[in-house]
A and B are shown apart, each in its own frame.
Chain A
Amino acid sequence: METAFFELRGISKYFAKVVANKDVSFSIRRGEVLALLGENGAGKSTVMKILYGLYRADEGQIFKDGKEVKIQSPKDAMKLGISMIQQHFSLVPAHTVTENIILGNVGGVIDQKLYQEEIKKLAGVYGFNVNPNDYVRDLEVGVQQKVEILKALYQKASLLIMDEPTAVLTPQEAQNLMEFIRNFAAQGNAVIFITHKLKEVMSVADRIIVMRAGKVCGDVKRSETNEVELSKLMIGKDLEQVRRDELKAKPAQKPRLIIEKVTLEEQTGVPALKNISLAVGQGEILGIAGVSGNGQQELCEIICGAQFPSSGRILLDGEDITNKDIRARIEAGIGYVPADRSRDGMVMEMSIAENMLLKSSFDKKWQNRGFIDQRKLNAYTQEQIKEYSIKTPSTEAMVRGLSGGNQQKVILAREVDNGEKVIIFDQPTRGLDLGAVNHIHKVILKERAKGKSIVLVSTELSEIFALSDKIAVLYKGEIQGIFEPAELTTEKIGLLMAGFKIGEVREDAS
């Protein structure tokens, strides 16, 4: 048998609170595309960071072409031809493409022209449309990723590791990336990509390593498996699909939350939101689709009161709330599950019970003669822990110690109670495993059934389609159109998200 290009044998890594990897072994051959599939927290990224030298394994060995190698740092890894593209890019925005690519690879006087030519040629070989003189800060995310890839290619990488490469891309961009991956591998290189999306795996990988709870629990050829089998391997049990039609569609209700011609100008004068008009009825879910960074966060913050629009109005049940601050809007019944929960949604160093109190510390209901009514708060927290099956030793546990999914459930429990009228969900399932995603989807549908108005922002199209009554597409701060889910195909929405106008899309689609 052919010796493996790279092989990992018995890799284990322990962190203080978790076993990240336990006895992980697998290999990759030249010319192969390997998908590393698993839920979040399954240990995929950790094992790749070990291969790339960012972490050191507590146990185990790594082999290249049958010889043992020691990888102590990314520098060692690069010498062996390993390059890793992180989920969050490591580019310098204020530098040009060329400067970013040669960063760390040059010395002495830099001959800009020469490098620019080299990079242009390299980009040409792989059909990348990248101008080496552009500043990275002006580039779109998809192009930035290409710059990252060029950087790896420039260093003559022969094993490319990509961590969730498609998370930030439009469907079309993702397609292009997949093509590149195939091409690159066909030239005798190898690619490992980390993902939890089954579809991608089936479309591009030759072999699939499935990880669960830090261990390898499946090593299968793509040709011998299917999506159902993979998802079973991944979560260890059958998936219970959320059925959208379980809840009957209601006749249109009168609108509860109305956003009228709202524009938000940033300090630079560039509008982050342009003339947005939306309406959400009672018992209705409005899905906001779009590639992240197109104004979603600003839209959410305008609704919850963290930012005030430069012009336009916001109405809740007919009452103008445009000038009300966050606290007044919380009291008016607007709940907000932010995308960045650790930054905007919770205090990591506080207990679950204390986090439950975060938005209602002014509320008399939690006070007893001016003191916090600890007993009542604990009882309530205990109830929520049970209802949302939050895995924790006690109500006093620090939220920092909880897994991402359980942290999200804490916020969810709080906001569902806070948002008596409107709940905004910004990327409620990002980075969560399938079990937790399922649970959260059920909660969203349950709140809809109670007659609450829901704004659901997500970059996962499947999520938007599965839950929304209406779908609005956001591109560069503008609404591209509001649609019934049935009107849209994945392709059509992909084009809308990429900035094509409705007219253009119609022509393409017909």
Chain B
Amino acid sequence: MQAKIRDLIITNLLAIVLGIVSSGIMLLFLGENPVSAFTILITSVVRDVYTFADIFVKATPLMFTALSFAFTYKANLYNIGAQGQFYIGAIIAVASSLYLQDILPGWLALLITLILTLLGSGLWGGFIGFVKARYNSNEFLISMMSTYVALAIMNYLLRTFLMETKAEYPQTDALANSVWLPRIIPGTRLHVGFILALLSCIGVWVLLYKTPLGYRIRAVGYNARAAKMSGIDAKKLYILAFCISGALAGAAGFTEVNGVQHMLVQGFNPDIGAAGIGIAILANGNPIGIIFASILFGALKVGGTIMGQMSAIPSSIIELMQGFVMVFVILAYFVRSWLENNREKRKLQKAVV
């Protein structure tokens, strides 16, 4: 067990370092000095509280979309529609907030908005599970296509009912201060949504590993037939798992709209769903691992933006780095099982000789 944890830490750190070195080599091709680039990257994110806190601001929605993918992944289902569920969540959050901000006190409006967001995006996600259970359709395709539908709905609403009063851009009016998520650290953008995300990670972990429902979801994921033979209704679980998964992605919409943007802009955060999938895979679907992986990606995002501003290096180099890190972390997974295998084999050889 000790050796296992040691392997886990060493291989993952090594994977991150290798990812950075590989993208550094890419920088050399651009004729840039990777050392100075990375110095900027590291020093820039810790230069002041505002930037540093922004890491966690960026990590917040990533945690939600990663959880969204990881949750169905545990039931051996693939929800790659987190992006669409996120947009649906954002639409409901902004509509509800705009409507309620004038008639209810802020905290109550926020609470109702959160509940409506979770319900709406949960239903949106649950539909994927429903067609999977009812018509045995491929959830991978359905969830992917549902993103485009969500995008179209958002575009439509931003041109019509939700369009700003000035009617100039496809965006909503700004939310009133009363329905902004409270800031944790004054002078930064860090809002309570981050706490919500942390609690969700822990909550999902508890749900999956400590409750009968989560147990059944995992049982269906590992061996659907044995679960069926044990009286577990897989179809019901498909719907439920997609409901929860959709609600998790929708929660990212809530925290982004009420916590960061304070309005809804057409096509914002377009890569949050894909990044979530990457993070979930990076964390091997473990909700606690998702916390750390999301913070790492948040840091890369913040650093990348600043690097783009401060030097001639294109900020897209950060995406390259994210890609490299992900590839190496996935490789590390295989290296670990190979190490484990060899260790067992050696132990055995010693024992019999």
* Chain A contacts to B: CB under 8 angstroms: 14-19, 22, 304-306, 325-330, 336, 338, 343-350, 354, 357-359, 361-362, 366-367, 370-372, 374
Interfacial chain B residues near A358, Cβ < 8 Å: 219, 226-227, 230
Bound complex: CA A358 to CA B216 (Å)? 8
Interfacial chain B residues near A362, Cβ < 8 Å: 212, 231
Bound complex: CA A348 to CA B344 (Å)? 19
Q: Which of the listed residues A325, A366, A372 has the most CB atoms from chain B within 10 Å of its own CB? A: A372
Asked if B226 and A367 sit within 8 Å, CB to CB, the answer is no
Asked if A350 and B218 sit within 8 Å, CB to CB, the answer is yes
Asked if B140 is at the interface of the complex by the 8 Å CB criterion, the answer is no
Q: How far is the CB of A400 from chain B (nearest CB, A)?
A: 10
Interfacial chain B residues near A372, Cβ < 8 Å: 210-212, 215
Say which size band chain B's interface belongs to: 20 to 34
The interface-forming segment of B2-10, B25-33, B290-298, B345-353 is B345-353
Q: How far is the CB of A365 from chain B (nearest CB, A)?
A: 11
Query: Provided the pairs A17-B344, A343-B226 are in contact, do residues A327 and B215 lie with their beta carbons within 8 angstroms?
Result: no
Interfacial chain A residues near B134, Cβ < 8 Å: none
Within 8 A of A (CB), among B216-273: 216, 218-219, 222-223, 225-233
Bound complex: CA A371 to CA B212 (Å)? 7
When C-beta atoms are compared, the residue in chain B nearest to A363 turns out to be: B212
When C-beta atoms are compared, the residue in chain A nearest to B344 turns out to be: A16
Asked if B309 is at the interface of the complex by the 8 Å CB criterion, the answer is no
Asked if B226 and A326 sit within 8 Å, CB to CB, the answer is no
Bound complex: CA A19 to CA B222 (Å)? 28
Q: How far is the CB of A296 from chain B (nearest CB, A)?
A: 15
Interfacial chain B residues near A349, Cβ < 8 Å: 222-223
Q: How far is the CB of B208 from chain A (nearest CB, A)?
A: 11
Query: Provided the pairs A350-B218, A371-B211, A372-B211 are in contact, do residues A304 and B348 lie with their beta carbons within 8 angstroms?
Result: no
Q: List 17 A-B contacts (CB under 8 A).
A: A14-B349, A15-B345, A16-B344, A16-B345, A17-B344, A19-B352, A329-B231, A330-B230, A343-B226, A347-B218, A348-B222, A348-B223, A354-B219, A359-B230, A359-B231, A361-B212, A361-B232
Bound complex: CA A343 to CA B225 (Å)? 7
Q: How far is the CB of B113 from chain A (nearest CB, A)?
A: 27
Interfacial chain A residues near B222, Cβ < 8 Å: 347-350
Interfacial chain B residues near A14, Cβ < 8 Å: 345, 348-349
Query: Provided the pairs A326-B228, A327-B231 are in contact, do residues A367 and B212 lie with their beta carbons within 8 angstroms?
Result: yes
Q: Which of B212, B226, B231, B340 contacts A346 (CB 8 A)?
A: B226
New A-B pairs, 20, CB < 8 Å, besides A345-B226, A350-B218, A374-B210:
A14-B348, A16-B340, A16-B341, A16-B344, A16-B345, A305-B231, A306-B228, A306-B229, A325-B231, A327-B231, A327-B232, A327-B233, A343-B223, A358-B219, A358-B230, A359-B231, A361-B212, A362-B231, A366-B212, A367-B212
Asked if A347 and B226 sit within 8 Å, CB to CB, the answer is yes
Instruction: State the 9 A-B residue pairs at the shortest beta-carbon distance, nearest first.
Output: A327-B231, A326-B231, A16-B341, A359-B230, A361-B212, A347-B222, A358-B230, A347-B223, A16-B344
Interfacial chain A residues near B344, Cβ < 8 Å: 16-17
When C-beta atoms are compared, the residue in chain B nearest to A330 turns out to be: B231
Bound complex: CA A36 to CA B349 (Å)? 24
When C-beta atoms are compared, the residue in chain A nearest to B351 turns out to be: A19
Interfacial chain B residues near A306, Cβ < 8 Å: 228-229
Bound complex: CA A358 to CA B229 (Å)? 10
Asked if B227 and A336 sit within 8 Å, CB to CB, the answer is no
Interfacial chain A residues near B345, Cβ < 8 Å: 14-16
Bound complex: CA A347 to CA B219 (Å)? 7
Asked if B226 and A344 sit within 8 Å, CB to CB, the answer is yes
Residues 131-153 of B, flagged 1 when their CB comes within 8 A of A and 0 if not, give 00000000000000000000000
When C-beta atoms are compared, the residue in chain A nearest to B343 turns out to be: A16
Bound complex: CA A327 to CA B229 (Å)? 9
Asked if B225 and A344 sit within 8 Å, CB to CB, the answer is yes
Interfacial chain B residues near A374, Cβ < 8 Å: 210
Interfacial chain A residues near B233, Cβ < 8 Å: 327
Bound complex: CA A359 to CA B229 (Å)? 8
Q: How far is the CB of A452 from chain B (nearest CB, A)?
A: 20
Interfacial chain B residues near A348, Cβ < 8 Å: 222-223
Q: How far is the CB of B346 from chain A (nearest CB, A)?
A: 9
Query: Provided the pairs A354-B215, A361-B212, A372-B212 are in contact, do residues A347 and B348 lie with their beta carbons within 8 angstroms?
Result: no
